[in-house]
Amino acid sequence: MTDIIQLLPDHVANQIAAGEVVQRPASVVKELLENAIDAGSTSIQLLIKNAGKTLIQVADNGKGMSLTDARLSFERHATSKIKLAEDLFQLQTKGFRGEALASIAAIAQVDLKTKQEEEEVGTHIQIKGSEVESQEACVTPKGTVIHVKNLFYNIPARRNFLKSTSVETRHIIDEFQRVALAHPSIAFSMHHNGSEMFQLPVSNPRQRIVNIFGSKTNEKLVPVEEDTEMVKVTGFVGKPEFAKRTRGEQFFFVNDRYIKSPYLNHAVTAAFEGLLKDKAHPSYFLYLQVDPKSIDINIHPTKTEIKFDDEHALYAILRSAIKHSLGQFSVAPVLDFNRDSNLDTPYEFQQKQAETPKVEVDRDFNPFKEVSTRTSSGSSVGFQSRRQSAPQESWEALYTGLNDQNDEKDFSKVEFESDVVTGQLFDSSAVATSSTTFQLQKKYIISPFKNGMILIDQHRAHCRILYEDLLKSITVKAAVSQQLLFPLSLQLNAQETQMLQYLRESLEQTGFIFSKMEEEEIEITGIPTLIPESEVSILLDQLLSDFENEIPESGFLQTDLLAKSLAKSMAIKAGTHLDTVEQIAIVNGLFACKEPQLTPSNKKIFITLQAEDIEKKFM
């Protein structure tokens, strides 16, 4: 019997390893930026073309590599970060698995230039599909410059699975922001297709957050600081009134490494309990410093998940630290039973001296005197003097005209306020209309038909009606817009503004009018007629959330997704009371649609109950 087990060739093994390390261009950006940080760089530049599919370039001013190190860095399991297995539990660096450059070189064309400070010339290496094509000396400044070209050129199937340019660019921006937020002491810059997207100078954590997410972010931040034997927590949380429907601005950093932790995220949400609107998510930028021996960061290939020794204690510390900060900065109400709020001094009186109150007394006042002719200059006036001051003539005026018998009053036109008593229990008009539809639990509309009745979900039905109307507005005829008396200004970050800019033409067809759309602010002067002004920001937040994972390149798919998102946000919700006219309008509008049975997301809108089904219930 022949042997069937054999060793894989190196280039195949590298491509398999690349499947774990390199999932998309953003994975390459993350690995290269972390290598630049580990090299001790103070300035890092990122340049990408075509969302990283054509070119990813990272240049740093770190310590560089020698000739031997430059060649060895592309071998599998080659690393300078660890030497023993015990080193995994006291890591102070980013990359340590030794597979990043080897995996990248297996699926792309890599061009590396590096030079150490004490060397006269640097090293230039060109690799294509794990094979070294050239290695020579070159003139280059101190540090490392690495070009990754034509990602997945030798694995077309993997390249076909990449998303659109806008989506891949957003993933790269996410990775760039995570690395930049963790290292404010390093200057970063990013360019895409020749245009500058970020220019981040050396700063502190708060300034780095403002530089990335816009100047308006500064007023939204509440500092958090807690130092215990187990963990040191620093950073910021957003004020509850600025919470969004998206989870975009949520960052955890453990020992300057970005992580994802639903458990810790729940701790933050618990700290905001009672302060957030329904389905709103707080923003936070939290930095945790723990003993490297108390965590394990080697449980996931991308190193974004960490295992803690005592998660329950960490949960309690984080939750209490955030609640303390919200109370300390008067964001959340504080209960202090030992403090009397009546003794609080208003700010405008802090610098003023207290004045002694003056008491004025009428020492000549005698309540037993019948008539008092004194006039008091003080605030006290005798009871008798007040009683005698009222003239008797005023009482007689009340009875004037009662003895006049010549006046004849005409009571033929007197109207009574009481309701007219009829022999019917219900109003006839109400009985006539209420027999057509009926609302059940403020969620369903019941309408009779020939052989039974139909039960309609009012939210789903309205969603289908709006969806088809929006599709018609975007593709056929622009919808009517209502002008706002005062322009509505919304603060967004650069990424959200870029997404709205991409959808601007379609949004204007639905009734939105944008007078200004800048990097950190948009101004709206007109909105669709079905949207209240107070819900515009909520609707746009939901729209950005729906487009967070995918922005279709084709016009039809983009229009379809936009119509679905707007219809879902604009439709009436369960729990809304509808009068008879509104119920009938939804029923008639639903059955005028092309597809009345299913919602845009293919959910059932109504069910029918036949008379035979009802009769079986009584058997």
Q: How many CB atoms lie within 10 A of CB 218?
A: 13
Q: Find the CATH number of the domain harbouring 586.
A: 3.30.1370.100
Task: Return the pLDDT at 528.
Answer: 85
Q: Are 110 and 116 in contact (CB under 8 A)?
A: no
Kindly report the three-state secondary structure assignment for every residue of 193-240: CCEEEEEECCCCHHHHHHHHHCHHHHHHEEEEEEECCCEEEEEEEECH
Q: What average pLDDT does the segment 186-206 reach? A: 92
User: At residue 377, does pLDDT exceed 70?
Assistant: no
pLDDT of residue 499: 81
**Whole-number pLDDT of residue 378:** 47
106, two tokens: 């297996």
Residues 603 and 500 in one domain: yes
Which of 171, 181, 242 shows the shortest CA–CA distance to 209?
181
Is 125 contained in some domain? yes
Q: Which of 79-88, 237-246, 509-518, 576-585 has the lowest mean pLDDT?
A: 79-88
Domain-located, residue 404: no
Q: What is the mean pLDDT of the chain?
A: 80
Task: Indicate the pLDDT class of residue 376, thresholds 50, 70 and 90.
Answer: very low
Alpha carbon distance 78, 69 (integer Å): 9
Range of the domain at 542: 444-607
* pLDDT band of 45, cuts 50, 70, 90: very high
Residue 157, Cα to own-chain centre: how many angstroms? Answer: 34
298 and 242 in a single domain? The answer is yes
What's 26's domain CATH number? 3.30.565.10
180 in the same domain as 59: yes
Residue range 426-437, pLDDT digits in tens: 343 433 344 478
pLDDT for residue 356 is more than 90: no
Q: Is the same domain home to 174 and 96?
A: yes
Residue 205 has pLDDT above 90, yes or no: yes
Q: How confident is the model at residue 415 (pLDDT cuts 50, 70, 90)?
A: low
| Within-domain flag for 391 | no
Judged against a pLDDT cut of 70, whether residue 54 lies above it is answered with: yes
Tell me, yes or no, whether 416 lies in a domain.
no
Domain boundary among 169, 200, 231: 200
Among residues 328, 357, 389, the one where a domain terminates is 328
Residues 491 and 542 in one domain: yes
Out of 148, 167, 200, a domain closes at: 200
Give the pLDDT score at 458: 93
105 lies in the same domain as 183: yes
State CA 377 to chain mean position distance: 66
At residue 41 the predicted structure's pLDDT band, cuts being 50, 70 and 90, is very high
Q: Which residues contact 107 (CB under 8 A, 6 or more apart)?
A: 15, 18, 22, 129, 151, 152, 153, 154, 155, 158
pLDDT of residue 97: 53
pLDDT band at 127; cut points 50, 70, 90: very high
Query: How would you class 221 by CB atoms within 10 Å of its CB: exposed for 0-12, middle for 13-18, buried for 19 or more?
Result: buried
In this structure, is residue 78 part of a structural domain? yes
Are 171 and 238 within one domain?
A: no
Phi, psi of 559 (to 5 degrees): -65, -40
DSSP assignment string, 467-525: HHHHHHHHHTSPPPEEEEEEEEEEE--HHHHHHHHHHHHHHHHHT-EEEEE-SSEEEEE
- For position 158, what pLDDT does the model report? 82
Residues 304, 264 contacting (CB under 8 angstroms): no
User: Quick one: 294 exposed, middle or buried, by C-beta within 10 A (0-12, 13-18, 19+)?
Assistant: middle
Read off the pLDDT of residues 477-493 as tens digits, 9 standing for 90 and up. 777 888 888 899 887 77
Residues 6+ positions from 24 with CB-CB distance below 8 Å: 52, 162, 163, 168, 171
How does pLDDT run across 247-288, given as a tens digit for each residue?
Answer: 778 999 998 889 888 889 999 999 998 888 777 889 999 999
Question: Domain check: are 14 and 87 in the same one?
Answer: yes
- Minimum mean pLDDT range among 60-74, 268-282, 391-405: 391-405
User: What pLDDT, in 10s, does the model give residues 544-587?
Assistant: 877 765 555 555 677 888 888 888 888 898 888 998 888 989 99
Q: Are 455 and 539 in contact (CB under 8 A)?
A: no
Q: Give 240's contacts (C-beta < 8 A, 6+ positions apart).
A: 272, 275, 276, 282, 326, 331, 332
Q: Is the pLDDT of residue 591 over 50?
A: yes
Structural domains in the chain (count): 3
Q: What is the mean pLDDT of residues 299-317?
A: 78
In the structure, what pLDDT confidence band is assigned to residue 405 with cuts at 50, 70 and 90? Answer: low
- Cα distances from 544 to residues 468, 487, 555, in angstroms, run 21, 21, 17
**16 — pLDDT class (breaks 50, 70, 90):** low
Whether residue 244 is found in the same domain as residue 315: yes
Shared domain check, 143 and 41: yes
More confident residue, 345 or 426: 345
CATH code for the domain in which residue 323 is found: 3.30.230.10
Query: Is the pLDDT score of 609 beyond 80?
Result: yes
Domain assignment present for residue 306? The answer is yes
Residues 579 and 486 in one domain: yes
Task: Determine the Cα angle at 545 with ends 543 and 549, to 5°.
Answer: 115
Q: Which of 283, 251, 212, 282 is nearest to 493 (CA)?
A: 212
The model's confidence at residue 175, banded by pLDDT at 50, 70 and 90, is: very high
Contact assessment for residue 174 and residue 161, using Cβ atoms and an 8 Å cutoff? no
Judged by DSSP in three states, 326 sits in helix
The predicted model scores a pTM of 0.67
Cβ–Cβ < 8 Å for 561, 600: no
Closest CA to 239 of 228, 262, 223: 223
In a domain, 449, yes or no: yes
The token pair at 268 is 């933050």
Q: What percent of the chain has pLDDT over 90?
A: 27
- At 494, the pLDDT band (50, 70, 90 cuts) reads confident
Q: Is residue 478 part of a domain?
A: yes
pLDDT of residue 225 exceeding 90, the answer is yes
Q: What is the mean pLDDT of residues 307-335?
A: 82
Res 594 pLDDT > 80: yes
User: Does one domain contain both 580 and 476?
Assistant: yes
